[in-house]
Amino acid sequence: MVFRLILSNYSRKMEGGELTRGEVLSLLVRLAFATAASYFTVKLLVSAMDPTSKQKKDAKRKAQEVLQRLGIKERVSLSEYEMMIASQLVEPSRMTTSWSDVAGLSSVIRELRETVILPIQQRNRLQSSKLIQPPKGVLLHGPPGCGKTLLARAVAKEAGARFINLDVSALTDKWYGESQKLSSAVFSLACKIQPCIVFIDEIDSFLRVRASGDHEATAMMKAQFLQQWDGLATDHSRCVIVMGATNRPQDVDRAILRRMPAAFHVPLPGLAQREDILRLVLRDENISPDIDLVALARQTESFSGSDLMELCRTAAVYRLRHLLDNEPSGELSEMMNSIDKSEESLQPISLMDFKQALAKMRESRVYNRQVDALLKMDLD
């Protein structure tokens, strides 16, 4: 409409004779301003209609804060897509997990130190050898709740590497072609801030076995991710590791498994490992002297690390029951005030608390097995 008015105005002038040089320049300037105004107007309208615009602004703001704390922003320039991925960087101050927080996995920890951590720490001294290099891919697989994510954080902390906790949903975009650019940004950002570990939890949900029924956008995103990953394998000077965790390794695409030569099985803890986990979880708790952790470990066969953590948490909560019994009104605020005023009112965790918690856990596990059996029957 703006262009029409401008051209119609000058067309009327042209009917009376030729345009002067000044009028031609004025026409060009007005057309340039009209073009710029139309461009920014359309851009604002598209931004207003984009449901993810607020999410992108928040991600950019968070990324700038994290990069400033890490001291990266001054050294490297990042694109818009790299800033989106940078919002998922984990700050070193929040990476408090160390090997002392992991119990019952001494053999896996030793292998990770030899295979992953040592080559990262000594990468400058080992540049002459192409064999003693950090693997480009590490897969942690095993039953749920056995400490795979905990191990990944401890590896990043021990190795002194930057840690990107990649949220797969951040790679999806409603605009065609944007997901591929975000996938590329994962590796370009990791190369700029190396040494870097890109962690993908439940990797089977993202890089599962490809099929003909996959959506075109999803297939292109996976292909771009694999292509960029292969590019890292050809450059031995880059210290970027993709680490994945899954409890369904059979669902991971074979092309992904090939790119993850370092695979570590994280099994359910045995008797000695369960005892170590219980001691670690209860190290700062006030427990009754009649509790035998060895006997408790025997009664928790097939329990995972998270199950043992939940068992101790439930037992710790049960010791608060006497406070409710002493408060007839049942006012929660009065109960909490009594805890704050007198530390002696918080009794140690007793053997009875553990027995009740264990009974509750077993009841819940039986129910879960029944649900799984019914679901399997429905699928069959």
User: pLDDT tens digit string along 270-279?
Assistant: 999 999 999 9
**Residue 224 shares a structural domain with residue 345:** no
Q: Is residue 325 part of a domain?
A: yes
Q: Is residue 8 part of a domain?
A: no
**Residue 282 shares a structural domain with residue 258:** no
**Residue 281 shares a structural domain with residue 317:** yes
**Residue 260 shares a structural domain with residue 282:** no
Q: Is residue 45 part of a domain?
A: no
CA distances from 218 to 137, 172, 182, 188, 203 (A): 21, 8, 12, 20, 14
Predicted confidence (pLDDT) per residue in 202-253, tens digit: 888 888 777 666 667 677 877 888 888 876 555 666 788 889 999 888 888 8
**Residue 316 shares a structural domain with residue 239:** no
Residue keyed to tokens 């771009």: 224
pLDDT band of residue 376 (cuts 50, 70, 90) is low
The domain tally of the chain equals: 2
Question: Among the three residues 206, 234, 265, which one is the final residue of a domain in this structure?
Answer: 265
**Residue 194 shares a structural domain with residue 276:** no
Domain that holds residue 322: 271-379
**Residue 244 shares a structural domain with residue 373:** no
For the cut 60, the answer to whether the pLDDT of residue 141 exceeds it is yes
**Residue 316 shares a structural domain with residue 214:** no
pLDDT band of residue 298 (cuts 50, 70, 90) is very high
- Give 336 or 185, the one with higher predicted confidence: 185
Question: Among the three residues 221, 238, 265, which one is the final residue of a domain in this structure?
Answer: 265
Residue keyed to tokens 């301003």: 33
Q: Is residue 116 part of a domain?
A: yes
pLDDT computed for residue 379 by the predictor: 43
Question: Among the three residues 231, 265, 299, which one is the final residue of a domain in this structure?
Answer: 265
Q: Is residue 339 part of a domain?
A: yes
Residue keyed to tokens 């007198």: 342
Q: Is residue 15 part of a domain?
A: no
Predicted confidence (pLDDT) per residue in 149-180, tens digit: 888 888 888 888 888 888 877 777 767 777 78
Q: Is residue 48 part of a domain?
A: no
**Residue 207 shares a structural domain with residue 90:** yes
**Residue 117 shares a structural domain with residue 152:** yes
CATH code for the domain in which residue 188 is found: 3.40.50.300
Predicted confidence (pLDDT) per residue in 41-58, tens digit: 776 665 555 555 666 677
Q: Which residues pair with 262 in a beta bridge?
A: 138
CATH code for the domain in which residue 301 is found: 1.10.8.60
- Give 163 or 129, the one with higher predicted confidence: 163
Give the other-Cβ count within 10 Å of 378's Cβ.
7
**Residue 101 shares a structural domain with residue 220:** yes
Q: In terms of Cα–Cα distance, which of 296, 247, 256 is closest to 276?
A: 296
**Residue 254 shares a structural domain with residue 302:** no
Q: Is residue 9 part of a domain?
A: no
For the cut 80, the answer to whether the pLDDT of residue 337 exceeds it is no
